């Protein structure tokens, strides 16, 4: 390479590199470091701030904090599982059973609700489910119920909402891999004497594993970090961990506590994803695609 050429090549690189680096450094790396730093700061009796483990300590000593944390984690796993159970047959129907000419239309139909604002979707459920809601109205009209039933503010309602809002992120990756599953494989298995259950267990699910994994990780992430759905549909005295963070920062104005909670949430999500990826021997970059 000649000298002038080397300089030319570097210019192209610098033009691409600089904005990307600034983005990631200023908006991702430094804020996360600041979050970590804040989580170790506290004010002592004299009003002087300094290093402390207090913020993390209170997490373990106050049951309300770690109970919320555990509840959030367990419910996130449960929601992910429910979403998977519903998404598999839906994806299967669209890719393998629906008439080819309807396939594109069904895909669009599945995608549309998810382009709509999350808040509007939750609002729709509120209108349906609340005491004065549409479902109660019809149940009363049909004399199935005598008194309206409060269907809001239960954990079940919250789970319904979370399943609803995160459905798409499971269906799309699964449809992606299922489309590439050659029908001949299912035909061959069938020809060799496999029943439906065996075909699902031995052919379809193993083949769709990459899609299932990436869908599960994305859904888990979204549910774990969701705020609106638990807040609006969930019970008043059983909180989601993100609400805990919100309260610390916005209501109690205890940023150090909030930072510690934020970091714990980040740690939990990274840890679970890391474990799942290790167990299934996949790579993050591949899963995200």
Partner 1 sequence: MIRTLPNSKAYTTGFKVFIVLYFVFLFAPLVVTMVLAFNNSMFPALPWQGFTWDWFFGKGPDKIGIFHDAINLRSIYTSFRVAAGVTILSTVVGTMAAFLFEQEEFRFKKLLYFLMLAPMVIPGVILGISILMFSTAVGLFFENTFGWNMDMFSPGIGLVIFGQFSFITTIVTLLISARLKKFDRTLEEAAYNLGANRLEVIWFITLNYLRPAIIGAAIVAFLMSFENFNTTLFLVGSNATLPINLYLQVRDGSTPVINAIAFLLIVTTSCIAVVNLYSGSRNKT
Partner 2 sequence: MEIALSIKNVSKNFGNFTAVSNVTFDVEDGKFFSILGPSGSGKTTLLRMIAGFYKPSNGVIEIRGMDMAGVEPNKRPVNLVFQNLALFPMMNVYENIAFGLKRRGERGKEVKKKVESMLERVGLPGFGNRKVNQLSGGQKQRVAIARCLVLEPTALLLDEPLGSLDFKLREHMKVELKKLQAKVGTTFVYITHDQSEAMVMSDHVAVMHSGYFEQLDTPQNLYNKPVSAFVAQFVGDNNKFIVRLRKDEHGRFFAVTDEGHEFKLDRPYDLESSNLFEMYVRPEAIIINPKESTGGINLLDVEVKSILFDGGNSRILVIPSGSGREIIVSLPQNRKYDNLQEKDKLKIGWYPSAAVCFKGAGGKVYDEI
2 touches partner 2 by CB under 8 A: yes
Q: How many residues does the chain have?
A: 289
For residues 38 and 56, the answer to whether their CB atoms sit within 8 Å is no
Binding residue (CB under 8 A) for partner 1 from 86, 145, 205, 271: 86
The site map against partner 1 for 51-70 (x = CB under 8 A) is: --------------------
251 touches partner 1 by CB under 8 A: no
178 touches partner 1 by CB under 8 A: no
* Secondary structure element (H or E) that encloses residue 235, with its range: none
288 touches partner 1 by CB under 8 A: yes
For residues 74 and 132, the answer to whether their CB atoms sit within 8 Å is no
Rounded Cα gap, residues 50 and 289, in angstroms: 43
Question: Comparing C-alpha atoms, which of 74, 72, 230, 80 is closest to residue 152?
Answer: 230
- For 201-231, letters b (16+ CB in 10 Å) and e give eebbeebbebbbbbbbbbbbbbbbbbebbbb
Q: What phi-psi label fits residue 112: left (phi over 0), alpha (psi between -120 and 50 degrees) or beta?
A: alpha
Among partner 2, partner 1, none, what does residue 2 contact (CB within 5–8 Å per kind)? Answer: partner 2
Among partner 2, partner 1, none, what does residue 207 contact (CB within 5–8 Å per kind)? Answer: none
Rounded Cα gap, residues 207 and 267, in angstroms: 31
CB of 161 to partner 2, least distance (A): 44
Binding residue (CB under 8 A) for partner 1 from 77, 78, 238, 249: 249
Among partner 2, partner 1, none, what does residue 221 contact (CB within 5–8 Å per kind)? Answer: partner 1
Binding residue (CB under 8 A) for partner 1 from 53, 67, 89, 275: 89
Is 1 or 100 the residue whose CB approaches partner 2 more closely? 1
Q: Candidates 46-54, 62-70, 146-154, 258-266: pick the segment binding partner 1 (CB under 8 A).
A: 258-266
139 touches partner 1 by CB under 8 A: no
Is 3 or 281 the residue whose CB approaches partner 2 more closely? 3
Rounded Cα gap, residues 20 and 25, in angstroms: 8
Number of alpha carbons in the 13 Å side-chain half-sphere of residue 87: 30
Which positions lie near partner 2, rule CB under 8 A? 1-2, 5
């Amino acid at each position: 390479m000649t000298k002038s050429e080397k300089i030319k090549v570097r210019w192209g690189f610098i033009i691409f590199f600089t904005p990307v680096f600034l983005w990631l450094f200023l908006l991702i790396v430094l804020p996360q470091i600041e979050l970590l730093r804040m989580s170790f700061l506290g004010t002592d009796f004299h009003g002087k701030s300094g290093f402390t483990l207090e913020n993390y300590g209170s997490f373990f000593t106050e049951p309300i904090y770690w109970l919320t944390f555990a509840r959030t984690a367990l419910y996130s796993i449960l929601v992910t599982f429910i979403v998977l159970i519903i998404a598999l047959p839906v994806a299967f129907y669209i890719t393998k059973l629906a008439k080819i000419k309807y396939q594109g239309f069904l895909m669009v139909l599945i995608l549309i609700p998810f382009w709509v604002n999350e808040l509007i979707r939750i609002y729709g459920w509120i209108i349906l489910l609340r005491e004065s809601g549409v479902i109660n109205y019809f149940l009363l009209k049909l004399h199935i119920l005598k008194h309206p039933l409060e269907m809001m503010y239960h954990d079940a309602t919250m789970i319904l909402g979370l399943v609803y809002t995160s459905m798409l992120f499971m269906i799309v990756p699964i449809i992606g891999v299922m489309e590439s599953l050659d029908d001949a494989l299912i035909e061959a298995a069938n020809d060799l004497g496999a029943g439906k259950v065996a075909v699902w267990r031995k052919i379809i699910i193993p083949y769709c594993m990459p899609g299932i994994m990436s869908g599960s990780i994305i859904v888990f992430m979204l549910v774990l970090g969701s705020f609106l759905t638990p807040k609006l549909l969930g019970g008043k005295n059983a909180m989601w961990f993100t609400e805990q963070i919100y309260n610390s920062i916005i209501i109690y104005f205890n940023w150090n506590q909030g930072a510690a909670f934020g970091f714990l949430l980040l740690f939990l999500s990274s840890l679970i994803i890391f474990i799942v990826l290790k167990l299934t021997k996949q790579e993050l970059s591949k899963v995200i695609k």
